[in-house]
Structure 1
Amino acid sequence: MGLTFDYIGLLEPTSPFVYYQYLQEAVEKLDSQADADAIVAVRESTPHPFFVQDDHIFLDKISENISHLHFMGRQHFKKQITPSGGFYIARTQAFMKARTFYTAATMSFLLPFECELEIDQERDWLWAEFLCEKKIIQQHKIFSNESAI
């Protein structure tokens, strides 16, 4: 074919609510950062990893962490992020070399709440239907760049 592309991307069908606008913004952010290889959609990690441990009979790790809190509320914790599955975009050359979207030069793109939903279970589907019914997810923004009405 002889075609070359600047970027390669992955959109997962289990994350169908990423607005077109954010895909454009992500490409622009990646394009403006010459030393970046890729950009990946992320969301705020909840609960905070401070309150998470491996499955165990006793909450030993969580108890130890809480003992060091000294009455600090959760809202004072530094924001933690985790990949959301919303999208993965990489410079084609960087992707071909690394064979992954994740390198030390991968940037994050924080998605808003209504765009971060992953549908992996029936309850996720029901939650998505509720968010669509309440117009929290604005379906017209998924495939077009029009602003909210």
Structure 2
Amino acid sequence: MNILGLIPARGGSKGIQGKNIQLLGGKPLLQYSLEAARKAKLLNKVILSSDEEDIIQIAKQLEIEVPFKRPENLAEDSSSSLEVVQHALNFYLKQGINFDAVCLLQPTTPFRKPEFIDECILKFKDGNFDSLVSVREVPKEYNPHWVFEENEGALKISTGEKEIISRRQDLPKAYHRDGAIYLTKTEVLLNENSLYGKNIGFVDITPFPYVNIDTPEDWKKAEEILEKMRDKNNVGD
């Protein structure tokens, strides 16, 4: 299976100015995703998609391939990840280059391991899924069976059940996307116009360090995680 690794890094971040090239632990944020993608064994090509010249130049200094400059209309707050991935695929299709799937690696979730990327790809292939996403378990108190929605001034259980599950032990596991990995077949992306399709696989990475950087508070959390990771790696030195 021919898989394109795609790192999306637009320049218009509002929560943290210049987020994708801000230094985290002495390295531009996007470099973490680049290094993990390079070390992964099952990605056939890794590229960066950006509309911002400063980001493109830094990416080239890091020797990441930047085959095009993303159009401005695909770098707005309202632009979707699906549109960004489709743009990259169509760029290569015009050159007669086909990929079977795309692995989207967002810089805002920097602490993914190369082995994790390969694990996801192997499960994606073996399960013949339309897509596969990385997930984390939802804490019990936020389980959808214990979550309520407003209904004409009253509350109803979000799952539509009439009776609430009373015991924590009886709650089924629930997951949320963490943004680290999105793997999708090209035919689903282009023909179904979807990032997911109908048959969605998943890999649970709850035990691993996690942050999805969007705010200054998230950035501070990323710095704290990085410090803990470094302390752990230095044990016994």
TM-score by length of 1: 0.71
Work out which of the residue numbers 38, 57, 61 in structure 1 matches 2:131.
38
Deviations along 1:11-30, one digit per CA (max 9) or x if unpaired, are 11221112111111111111
Go from structure 1 to structure 2 and tell me whether the alpha carbon gap of 1:114 and 1:54 turns closer, same or farther (over 3 Å shift).
same
- On the 8 A contact 1:42/1:84 being kept in 2, the answer is yes
Poorly superposed stretches of 4+, deviation over 6 Å? 136-139
- What is the deviation of 1:117? 2.1
SS at match of 1:13: coil
SS at match of 1:40: strand
Work out which of the residue numbers 91, 95, 110 in structure 2 matches 1:16.
110
Deviations along 1:23-71, one digit per CA (max 9) or x if unpaired, are 111111111123x111111111232223433579x99558xx9x9555x
1:79 corresponds to: 173
Structure 1 unaligned runs (5+)?
140-149
Go from structure 1 to structure 2 and tell me whether the alpha carbon gap of 1:28 and 1:138 turns closer, same or farther (over 3 Å shift).
farther
Question: Relative contact order (C-alpha < 8 Å, sep 6+): which is higher?
Answer: 1
Work out which of the residue numbers 171, 178, 188 in structure 2 matches 1:94.
188
Query: Structure 1 vs Structure 2: percent identity of aligned residues?
Result: 27
Go from structure 1 to structure 2 and tell me whether the alpha carbon gap of 1:93 and 1:59 turns closer, same or farther (over 3 Å shift).
same
TM-score by length of 2: 0.47
Amino acid in structure 2 at the alignment position of 1:29: K
Work out which of the residue numbers 147, 159, 171 in structure 2 matches 1:52.
147
The alignment status of 1:125 with 2:219, answered yes or no, reads yes
Q: Separation in 2 of the partners of 1:129 and 1:44?
A: 23
SS at match of 1:39: strand
- On the 8 A contact 2:100/2:185 being kept in 1, the answer is yes
The alignment status of 1:2 with 2:96, answered yes or no, reads yes
- On the 8 A contact 1:19/1:115 being kept in 2, the answer is no
